[in-house]
Amino acid sequence: MKRRHFLLGGLAAGAALVVGWGVLPPRSRLGTTGTLPAVNGEVALNGWIKIAADGRVLLAMNRSEMGQGVHTALAMLVADELDVPLEQVRLIEAGHDTLYGNVAAFTASLPLHPSALEPGRETRIAKASVWLVAKVARELGINMTGGSSTVADAWDVLRLAAATARAQLVGAASLKWKLPADELVVADGHVSHPSGPKAGFGELAAMAAATPAGDVRVKDPKDWKLIGRPAARIDVPAKVDGSARFGLDVRLPDQLYAVVLHCPMLGGSPGGYDADAVLALPGVQRIVRLGTYAGSTPALAVVGTSTWHARRGAQALQVEWQAPPAGVLSSAKILDDLERTARAAGASHGGFAFRERGDVKSAAGARRVQQVYRAPYLAHATMEPINCTARVAAGRVELWVPTQAPGFARAIAAQVAGVPPDAVTVHVTYLGGGFGRRLDVDFVGQAVRIAIECGGRPVQLVWPREEDFTHDMYRPAGAAVLQAALDAQGMPVSLEITSAGDAITPRWMARNLPALAGPIDLPDKTTSEGLFDIPYGIANQRIAHVATHSGVPVGFWRSVGHSHNAFFSECFIDELAAEAGQDPVAFRLALLKEAPRHAVVLKLAAERAGWGTPLAPGVARGVALHESFGSIVAEVAEVTLDGAQPRVLRVVCAADVGTVVNPGIVAQQLESGVIFGLTAALYGRIDIEDSTVRQTNFPNYPMVRLADAPRIECHLVQSSHPPGGVGEPGTPPIAPAVANALFVLTGKRLRELPLVT
């Protein structure tokens, strides 16, 4: 009995500790002066900002630049709060401290309807969930760039860090000159007083580091000088003059080069091979057998004195490939199975319900509409092939890698090399495209394994384009059954959506966070995002998903579940408008009375596109509205047919992305998202036959070319909301907008991607 009391008491004490921890405020993300090492006379004022001897501001950059402009946006936040010119901010590599973890990406993963998080209307459950997840994410400190979360995550943190540094600099000047702090002026990297005293940041930094910041407040928006205004991207000069360093640009003394060779069949592995003939080729150094690292399959690597020599060796290597033990995969069969699964779950109200509102079972209407939509697997197809340069020597590992997840790269390198994580140094280069593929680090493990065999010499691993296409972590295929009951006026009184497809997050966690993955797959928001969170005010809703496990490796792809679920939902809404005999824009607006921000965005897009005005013969308009990553985007596409091939002539894009940091970059990213999504809408598909991916390079995985690109116009809604994402929200609406235009043009409703007339 005493033992039982002791056990219960211990459990109660543990529960009390957990509850007590849960109600405490999240740990500060400001960091300390010890977080940033001081070199060459630099002085750290907190974990983000150092002041150089010449007065320049050094910002610890914890996010990867892959063309989305975040290095410029984050530097603007700091420059504005410190009142320094943008060119006076220099970026330095952030370390591996948990301070630099991405909290916003984790809070955004909660399966909460956006209406529950609308400022001023947040529900208690939503606020509590975000609070707790933010605390956990802060402790985990996982540094990654993804989910269009960079600016959202940095918005409060970097402005506060810069405002704190400013207060310390002003405080130091006040003490030095014995003048009131509120009479001092900060401008262009100097602190001054109207009576004459003036000092640069560099002169004040040492004293400022020992000066308490006092009560710190970030600037009022009316005082912003940079935020909200266009500014030139700080990465452009280096990219123009060629000095920018991408992963493939890394060149080190005595460097070797390697290419990887996987089994043509997904899940297969190499057996025996003839090494002698390959090793006799000029420039070929060695052949390395690779194991499985963070989700990779067994493979071979050929090392040479140049990439060309290694590639020649790999092409000459004769391998006895072993078929995968799990059986043969077929994408056509997988899609058919997904449709059957979605139909069966829809008929029985099965699957995991991400949203239930009202009662779809008892909701009756004058008419019922039911349709099935499908989407294929997709590759990432980044312009820069997968690569990593590694050196293993004297018990240390050094990496030069274009990665979205430097912490995971460090962890897999330490694991493969058998060294502690603090013996691994990661240099994050520019990324020639990421799109979620570089959230995985399988190629890093391979590079380290090869480097171990190279006697301390650095080795650059490159995946040939064919390996990249045929051994990707693909965007999952998906199918959905959508059904609605309409009243006598044609308005929906119930909506039920049941989708089926592989869940990305559990597979990604099993590869990269096995200690946290667990044996049970929890419901994954990415499977149903773009379906359960649509803004339309339909009284009765049930949105559910059946998570499958096809055996095809899947990963995050630009806009993730929204990428295909927006096609499902927005095309179906268009079908309901047609069934009701109503204009698609007017029909949507009638359903947006509970979502005024969405209505404003839709009206803006329709107005700027000239919705309802005549078009040239053979041209039609289609519209789609979608919210993702905290931003609302509406797109109107003007489409014609070039023979049987759809051709998009013009896209008008309206967006509410919250507070805009740099409108030029926002427009660039929305345009980029449109082109990326248009490629997927018109061409994108990965076909798997006999476990072998048939698309091997750009000739059979085509892209929208410059000559085929539409004219894109972007219009931003002024907003006082915190920043939302911009890298991904432009992608989801384009496929349904084009499909809806094709329906107007041809009378044929296309319910499967890519759009083939």
Q: Which helix (H) or strand (E) holds 383?
A: none
| Range 40-56 average pLDDT | 97
Same domain, 359 and 391: no
Percent of the chain with pLDDT over 70: 97
Separation in Å, CA 416 to CA 294, 413, 438 = 10, 5, 19
Separation in Å, CA 174 to CA 56, 82, 83 = 21, 16, 18
Q: Is the pLDDT of residue 5 over 50?
A: no
Same domain, 612 and 636: yes
Separation in Å, CA 282 to CA 95, 288, 303, 308, 316 = 41, 17, 12, 11, 12
Q: Which residue has the tokens 């020599």?
A: 309
Lowest mean pLDDT among 21-35, 439-453, 582-596, 738-752: 21-35
Same domain, 551 and 629: yes
Separation in Å, CA 645 to CA 386, 642, 683, 686, 708 = 32, 5, 10, 19, 11
| Range 657-663 average pLDDT | 98
User: Does residue 704 sit within a domain?
Assistant: yes
**Is residue 12 very low, low, confident or very high in pLDDT (cuts 50, 70, 90)?**
very low
Q: Which helix (H) or strand (E) holds 565?
A: helix 562-580
What is the model's pLDDT at position 638? 98
pLDDT in tens, 695-708: 999 999 999 999 99
Percent of the chain with pLDDT over 90: 92
The whole-angstrom separation of Cα 33 and Cα 28 is: 13
| Range 576-604 average pLDDT | 98
The DSSP letter of residue 439 is: G
**Is residue 607 very low, low, confident or very high in pLDDT (cuts 50, 70, 90)?**
very high
**Is residue 20 very low, low, confident or very high in pLDDT (cuts 50, 70, 90)?**
low
| Range 278-284 average pLDDT | 98
Same domain, 572 and 655: yes
What is the model's pLDDT at position 336? 98
Same domain, 481 and 577: yes
Considering 208, 234, 260, which residue would you say is the last residue of a domain? 234
Q: Is the pLDDT of residue 753 over 80?
A: yes
User: Does residue 214 sit within a domain?
Assistant: yes
User: What is the overall mean pLDDT for the chain?
Assistant: 95
Same domain, 158 and 83: yes
State the total domains in the chain. Answer: 3
Residue 425 bridge partners (DSSP): 398
Same domain, 292 and 255: yes
What is the model's pLDDT at position 757? 86
Same domain, 264 and 186: no
Lowest mean pLDDT among 27-36, 170-179, 225-234, 255-264: 27-36
What is the model's pLDDT at position 519? 76
User: Does residue 415 sit within a domain?
Assistant: yes
Q: How far is CA 727 from the centre of its chain?
A: 8
| Range 315-336 average pLDDT | 96
Considering only CA atoms, which of 649, 648, 665 is closest in space to residue 716?
665
Q: Is the pLDDT of residue 619 over 60?
A: yes
Considering 462, 490, 505, which residue would you say is the last residue of a domain? 462
User: Does residue 128 sit within a domain?
Assistant: no
Q: How far is CA 684 from the centre of its chain?
A: 19
The whole-angstrom separation of Cα 63 and Cα 105 is: 12
User: Does residue 487 sit within a domain?
Assistant: yes
Same domain, 351 and 402: no
User: Does residue 444 sit within a domain?
Assistant: yes
Considering 169, 203, 234, which residue would you say is the last residue of a domain? 234
| Range 191-204 average pLDDT | 98
pLDDT in tens, 69-80: 999 999 999 999
User: Does residue 3 sit within a domain?
Assistant: no
Same domain, 369 and 391: no
pLDDT in tens, 481-539: 999 999 999 999 999 999 999 999 999 999 999 988 777 788 999 999 999 999 999 99
User: Does residue 205 sit within a domain?
Assistant: yes
DSSP character string of 681-698: HHT--B-EETTEES--SG
The whole-angstrom separation of Cα 6 and Cα 25 is: 31
Q: Is the pLDDT of residue 11 over 90?
A: no
What is the model's pLDDT at position 173? 98
Identify residue 61 by its one-letter amino acid code.
Answer: M
| CATH code: domain of residue 441 | 3.30.365.10
What is the model's pLDDT at position 19? 57
The whole-angstrom separation of Cα 399 and Cα 427 is: 6
Which structural domain, as residue segments, surrounds residue 96? 43-102+141-234
**Is residue 22 very low, low, confident or very high in pLDDT (cuts 50, 70, 90)?**
low
Same domain, 275 and 396: yes
The whole-angstrom separation of Cα 333 and Cα 336 is: 5
What is the model's pLDDT at position 627? 98
Same domain, 635 and 726: yes
Neighbours of 276 (CB within 10 A): 6
Q: Is the pLDDT of residue 120 over 90?
A: no
> Residue 605: how many CA atoms within 13 Å on its side-chain side?
36
**Is residue 648 very low, low, confident or very high in pLDDT (cuts 50, 70, 90)?**
very high
